[in-house]
Amino acid sequence: MSFGTVLIANRGEIALRVIEACRELGLRSVAVYSEADGSMPYLARADAAVCIGPADPARSYRNVASIISAAELTGAEAIHPGYGFLAESPHFVEVCEEHGLAFVGPSAEAMRRLGDKLAARETLERAGVPVLPGAGVPEGDEGILGLAEEIGYPVMLKPVYGGGGRGMRCVNSADEMGALVSGARAEAKTAAGNGALYLEKMLRDPRHVEVQVFADGAGRVVHLGERECSIQRRHQKMVEESPAPGLAEELRRRLHEAAITAVRATGYRNAGTVEFLVDEDGDFYFVEMNARIQVEHSVTEAVTGTNLIVEQLKVAMGEPLDWRQDEIAIWGHAIECRVTAEDSDRDFAPSCGTAAIRELPGGNGIRLDTALFDGMVVSPFYDSLLAKIIAWGQDREEACVRMLSALERFDVSGVATTREFLRRVVADPAFRRGEATTGFVGRLLAAG
């Protein structure tokens, strides 16, 4: 489907990325914004900007009727959802199609298939992709203890719908199950509108490795390498890098092949990410597949020399992928740090206030993805992400050194940020050796 005007149903740095991608392709861009975001400078970079409601995301960025109205008002023919908000809503995709709007992403059918994490597990298991032992939690919680015993403690409670770590709980024994189930169900229902849960065997201190995939409508499927995402707290990623350090080449190849299998098994189109856990023995297991562009896509762009947002738009217009698998090469090493408005000394409590910028990083090998500006009010309504700092080097050590310098230059006051904590991460000897696992942040915090 050809189109000339794209509405961006998101905010912040991803909205700016899509605006710039539209410019590269000669497309007209339409930005939408809430009343709280009316002063964001990137709005002036779009060809048109429309206010869609108050600060509350439910009445603005998640308000389907307001977004569709804005598209009709401005003559938009396509909608790019970015990440978060409506990016993984099959209902939103269907509404776009009903109004003759191209959705820049997968089909509603593929999204629905992947949005049900339990069904996605079963689909990929049938396709031969390794999964951890697991099963759905019975509606009335009866039999859940027997199910957990059968799988074997520790187990992980996971929401069937939604993402971002919301609703996930580690259960170490039967005594913990009751309270954790009720809390997980409530959080999952709040986050995704559905409190359904499933149980999965929990790995002790694994690595979290994901593969960036892309598929067009003509049957071409490629991967763009993998990303290491083990540095996380409460299942929220903080640092990502590509390629993943210390992976045996055979394991790396098998991860890539499993990701391609996942794409083909689900009939997926456009950009996506297949996530895996890797244990200490080098065995890996499917976790989930994200039906959208990821926050951390920037590190993949840095090592492949690609623009994934531009390619998303082109595939949505019906064009074939620009690359074959043998044309995609990994050059050097890239690390991304997510700087958020959180206080690491207060258990990463969100911080609000007016940001004052003294200095921002730049220079050779440094990329800064942000919509931050001096005097910006950081409100409690949206995600706490302030900026993504991406450091590229010819090798991993050079990328680490550049990242430390870039973090030092990220000098913002008025709100608490995670800058200093991220500097501790990158300077840590275990991280520098490439030995980080999902338990890394917990150990760093425990060490003071």
**DSSP of 366-414, one letter per residue?**
EEEEE---TT-EE-TTS--EEEEEEEEESSHHHHHHHHHHHHHH-EEES
- Which pLDDT score is estimated for 430? 95
Report the range of poorest mean pLDDT among 170-184, 230-244, 312-326: 170-184
Confidence of residue 192 (pLDDT cuts 50, 70, 90): confident
Query: In 3-state terms, what secondary structure has residue 57?
Result: helix
Which sequence positions are flagged as catalytic?
292
- Which pLDDT score is estimated for 141? 65
Listed residue (220, 215, 208) closest to 269, CA to CA: 215
- CATH class, 207-446 region: alpha beta
Cβ atoms of 194 and 188 closer than 8 Å: yes
Read off the pLDDT of each residue in 234-241 and give the average, rounded to a whole number. Answer: 94
Listed residue (276, 252, 337, 255) closest to 302, CA to CA: 337
Cα–Cα distance for residue pair 30/345, rounded to 1 Å: 40
Q: 65: which residues sit within 8 A by CB, 6+ positions away?
A: none
Read off the pLDDT of each residue in 70-85 and give the average, rounded to a whole number. Answer: 97
Cβ atoms of 335 and 403 closer than 8 Å: yes
Cβ atoms of 110 and 268 closer than 8 Å: yes
Rama region for 167: left / alpha / beta (φ>0; ψ in -120 to 50; rest) = left
Cβ atoms of 308 and 350 closer than 8 Å: no
Domain limits, the chain: 5-104, 133-201, 207-446
- Which pLDDT score is estimated for 304? 98
The string of pLDDT tens digits covering residues 35-49 is 999 999 999 999 999
- Which pLDDT score is estimated for 290? 93
pLDDT above 90 for 416:
yes
- Which pLDDT score is estimated for 179? 85
- Which pLDDT score is estimated for 140? 64
Could you identify the residue written with the tokens 């609703």? 167
Fold of 5-104: Rossmann fold (3.40.50)
Architecture of the CATH domain 133-201? 2-Layer Sandwich (3.30)
Percent above pLDDT 90 for the chain: 84
Neighbour tally for 247: CB within 10 Å: 20
| Rounded (to 5) percent helix, strand, coil in the chain | 35, 25, 35
The string of pLDDT tens digits covering residues 258-301 is 999 999 999 999 999 999 999 999 999 999 999 999 999 999 99
Listed residue (417, 391, 394, 415) closest to 405, CA to CA: 391
Read off the pLDDT of each residue in 133-154 and give the average, rounded to a whole number. Answer: 84
What is the identity of the amino acid at 376? M
pTM (2 d.p.): 0.94
- Using the Cα atoms of residue 180, residue 182, residue 185 and residue 189 in order, give the sign of their dihedral: negative
Percent above pLDDT 70 for the chain: 99
Cβ atoms of 170 and 401 closer than 8 Å: no
- Which pLDDT score is estimated for 196? 87
Burial 229-243 (b: 16+ CB within 10 A, else e): bbbbbebbbbbbbbb
Cβ atoms of 315 and 323 closer than 8 Å: no
Cα–Cα distance for residue pair 240/214, rounded to 1 Å: 19
pLDDT above 80 for 165:
no
**421: Cα separation from own chain's centroid:** 21
Name the residue with higher pLDDT: 204 or 207. 207
